[in-house]
Amino acid sequence: MSNPNPSESNPVAESRESFEDILSQYEKSHSRKKEDGGKQLEATVIAVSSESVFFDIGFKTEGIMPLAVFQSAGESVKPGDKLPVSVKGRDPEGYYELSRQKIAQPTDWSSLEQAFADKATIVGTVTAVIKGGFSVDVGVRAFMPASRSGVRDAAEMEKLVGQEIRCRIIKLDATEEDVVVDRRALAEEEERIGKERRYSEIREGETVRGTVRSLTDYGAFIDLGGVDGLLHVGEIAWSRINKPADVLSLGQQIEARVLKVDPEKRRISLGMKQLQRDPWDSVAQKYKLGERVRGTVTRVLEFGAFVELEPGIEGLIHVSEMSWAKKVRIASDVVKPGETVEVVVLGVNQAEHRISLGLKQALGDPWANVAQSFAVGTVIEGPVTSLTKFGAFVQLAEGIEGMIHVSDISAEKRIEYPQDVLKVGQLAKAQVLTVDTAKRLLRLGMKQLVPTGLDEYIAEHKEGDVVTGRMGEVSDGQARVELGDGINAICRMGAGSPAKEVVETAVLAAKPDLSALSSKLKAHWKGGVAVSESKPEAVRAGQIRKFRITKLDPAAKKIELELS
């Protein structure tokens, strides 16, 4: 049946047109005598290599056959041996590919019809390149479309002329002596069978040799003899490789280990680094906790930077381990790829191939001598680095900050928010109140540097002095005593004191004149004059009495008394 669309390629139409050309050049009948049958040659072994056997077949070029053919059959072969062979074709190096099987060549139309019905493999000789393909002698003249020849360009087509090929009949019309053969389908089928056999031969864990067939950014495809294996970039070497082309080239012969075989998906995973010593095997012995090491920054991510300590060994510097002085948000603010850094080993996990590194530890811990450098009572001055709702942070030195609580900013008035008084960058003067090196906390106070009446009072008195004050409320064995305006003390009431005999806790009916009282008390504690020489009265709230100072604490701003 002809093709209804003459513009489309039709092997049958092409074959008919081709045969019209052929019939005009050759005789119509080219049937061979039956006795000429299938071709089989007597070949003589001339050499045996580790993989192949070479034969003299009477042609200008030798024939070749895989040594495995004889090994699988349990046969040995040596130079000088003779055996019958058939020619299958030519290999890429020009040798004739041989087979020990006799491939039938049809001798008449009935045998052609039988081969067509059985889809059998036959042999033929390419006689010429014609329009659309080739003329092939298969006992009669046959046509092989170029698309079914297995060759692509004109140079390859010319090389095929004169070669004996294996093919299969895909169209047969005895009336018109029209025969179309296909070489490509047979080659593809043999390739498929060869791949399946190769997939079944390859085992996980074995070492194989192959040729680099192609390179990509993520890996290399390795020809393992009919099947491809993927060598991922991460499996090439223990050290980090950016792309396979940096260490591999097309056509390069390599050795690799088979990591995984997936017959269903036709995938083979390979690794080269597995044939080398794993540098992580000795990491625990080489890198000790607290040890200083040097390395090169290979990658910088938002959360940290990777440092290569030696080929195949990388450690991570987390952003939290990069600086004592400030909180690092992005690692690239501190280090760059290619930079050489000195770090301290913070942790080693050999099983998971992880090493934790510290950059700031290599610079020394600024908190190591804080207790001596900034003792309690020390006055410091530094810039305000940040403000929060509860206070302000002041930098005392590189990597050391102290906190001024909002309640310690001013003694004159209540401060609601630190930013009402302080600004970031402003120099602030404060006194060290507490030091906690374990928690890395320094508490500072600004109001403690402003002198008060209490400071003056403490400065002008000493323990043992007798002073005059006004009794306040008495509870739990102690009474609050007012020694002046804003100057308060605690009087501890011992057993048998007048306070245990009579204690008035009622509030005075009328509020006393505090200013007059302060003046009077001040005159007394400055002049040491007693208010009254009369017999001591029972203690009561609001009573003015004499007291003896038992303790003065300038730092805590505390005064303790006892009744005199």
Q: What is the pLDDT of residues 241-269, one digit of tens each?
A: 888 998 899 989 999 999 998 877 788 89
Whether 261 and 377 share a structural domain: no
Residues 6+ apart with CB under 8 A from 150: 183, 184, 187
DSSP β-bridge partners for residue 559: 552
- Look up tokens 């698309």; give the residue: 147
Mean pLDDT of 336-349: 92
Residue 356 is assigned to a structural domain of this protein: no
Q: Which of 275, 305, 335 is the last residue of a domain?
A: 275
Same domain? 330 vs 380 = no
- Which of 68-77, 144-153, 257-266 shows the lowest mean pLDDT across its residues? 68-77
What was the pLDDT predicted at 548?
Answer: 93
Q: How many CA atoms lie within 13 A of 43 on its CB side?
A: 29
- CATH code, domain carrying 259: 2.40.50.140
Question: Which sign does the torsion angle of CA 363, 369, 370, 373 carry?
Answer: negative
427 and 533, same domain (yes or no): no
- Based on the structure, what is the number of domains in the chain? 5
- β-strand pairing of 427-436 with 441-445: antiparallel
Judge if 458 and 427 occupy the same domain. no
Instruction: Indicate whether 530 belongs to any domain.
Output: yes
Residues 438 and 461 in one domain: no
Whether the per-residue pLDDT at 72 is higher than 80: the answer is no
Residue 506 has pLDDT above 70, yes or no: no
CA distance 331 to 333: 5
Pairing of strands 122-130, 133-137: antiparallel
- CB-based contacts of 282, cutoff 8 Å, min separation 6: none
pLDDT at 521: 52
Given 161, 187, 213, which residue is the final one in a domain? Answer: 187
Question: Percent of the chain beyond pLDDT 90?
Answer: 22
Domain span including residue 309: 288-344
- Is 519 in the same domain as 428? no
Per-residue tokens: 440: 């890395």
First to last CA, the chain: 137
Distance CA 9, CA 378 (A): 99
Of 523, 520, 525, 522, which Cα lies nearest the Cα of 546?
525
Q: Identify whether 354 is part of a domain.
A: no
**479 and 555 share a domain?**
yes
Residues 167 and 18 in one domain: yes
Do 29 and 175 fall within a single domain?
yes
540 secondary structure, DSSP code: B
Residues 35, 154: one domain? yes
461 and 445 share a domain? no
**Other CB atoms closer than 10 Å to residue 151's CB: what's the count?**
16
Q: What is the CA radius of gyration of the chain?
A: 51
Q: Is the pLDDT confidence value at 476 over 60?
A: yes
pTM: 0.43
* pLDDT exceeds cutoff 60 at 23: no
Taking the C-alpha atoms of residue 314 and residue 303, their distance in angstroms, rounded to an integer, is 16
523-526 long-range contacts (CB < 8 A, ≥24 apart) are 524/467, 524/468, 525/457, 525/461, 525/467, 525/468, 525/483, 525/484, 526/460
Instruction: Out of 188-192, 312-316, 456-460, give the one with best mean pLDDT.
Output: 312-316
Give per-residue pLDDT as tens, 374-429.
888 889 899 998 999 999 999 888 788 899 999 888 876 788 889 988 999 999 99
